[in-house]
């Protein structure tokens, strides 16, 4: 794990305000290549949901999910989602994953978030404690997709103590943490 220079003045609220509801950020379609996403059941939390592009996609491929949740540390992203009629059945709230959760979820997906955080391993610890069954995390491999708001660059070995299902695909590091709570 290597700390990288970042734009300390990056404004996530302004960023999402300028993108609107149709902006696509992360490519959730790669998940089906590596994980049996369509078999997930129960609740699903999308961490760093942005303006909901991932949740819209996950709703089409996860028929057994009973409730979808989305969190983001940007209040603007949450406001945009709550106003979107496509998302009326999704529960959104503002939360920083470096802080403990008050609720548990069957499944958590956290794509392209850790590289933006000051304390990514604290966030992973909180996600593991909050996950009942499946936690799927992805982050760029060696900052393969550099952005001015990235704080960290990771290598696959950074996650070996967390998961034995850790690999590189599509220039990303993927890791799965599976529990039976």
Q: What are the backbone dihedrals phi and psi of residue 37, each rounded to the nearest 5 degrees, phi first?
A: -55, -40
- Kindly list the averaged pLDDT for each block of 10 residues, start to end, along the chain of length 181: 71 78 71 90 96 92 97 93 93 95 96 90 94 92 74 86 81 79 65
Output the CA–CA distances (angstroms, integers) from residue 169 to 5, 33, 109, in the order listed: 25, 9, 16
Q: Structural domain boundaries of the chain?
A: 2-6+39-178
Q: What are the backbone dihedrals phi and psi of residue 101, each rounded to the nearest 5 degrees, phi first?
A: -95, 160
The answer to whether 123 touches 135, Cβ cutoff 8 Å, is no
Crossing angle between the packed helical segments 12-19 and 75-83, to the nearest 10 degrees: 30
Q: What is the pLDDT, as a whole number, of residue 109? A: 96
Architecture of domain 2-6+39-178: 3-Layer(aba) Sandwich (3.40)
Global pTM reads: 0.88
Q: What is the pLDDT, as a whole number, of residue 30? A: 82
DSSP the chain: -EE----TT--HHHHHHHH-TT---S-GGGHHHHS-GGG--EEEEEET-TTSHHHHHHHHH-TTEEEEEEEES-HHHHHHHHH-GGGTTSEEEE--TTS--SS-EEEEEEES-GGG-S-HHHHHHHHHHHEEEEEEEEEEBTTSS--TT--EEB-GGGGTTT-SEEEEETTEEEEEEE---
């Amino acid at each position: 794990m290597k700390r990288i220079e970042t734009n300390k003045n990056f404004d996530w609220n302004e960023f999402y305000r300028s993108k609107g509801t149709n902006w696509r950020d992360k490519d959730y379609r790669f998940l089906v290549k590596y994980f049996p996403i369509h078999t997930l059941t129960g609740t699903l939390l999308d961490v760093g949901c942005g303006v909901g592009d991932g949740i819209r996609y996950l709703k089409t491929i996860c028929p057994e999910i009973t409730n979808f949740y989305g969190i983001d540390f940007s209040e603007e992203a949450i406001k945009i989602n709550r106003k979107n009629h496509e998302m009326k059945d999704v529960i959104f709230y503002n939360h920083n994953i470096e802080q403990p959760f008050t609720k548990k979820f069957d499944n958590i997906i956290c794509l392209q978030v850790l590289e933006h955080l000051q304390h990514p391993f604290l966030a992973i610890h909180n996600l593991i404690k909050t996950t009942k069954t499946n936690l799927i995390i992805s982050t760029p491999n060696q900052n393969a997709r550099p952005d001015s708001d990235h704080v960290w660059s990771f290598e696959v070995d950074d996650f070996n103590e967390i998961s034995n299902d850790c690999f590189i695909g599509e220039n990303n590091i993927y890791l799965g943490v599976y529990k039976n709570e």
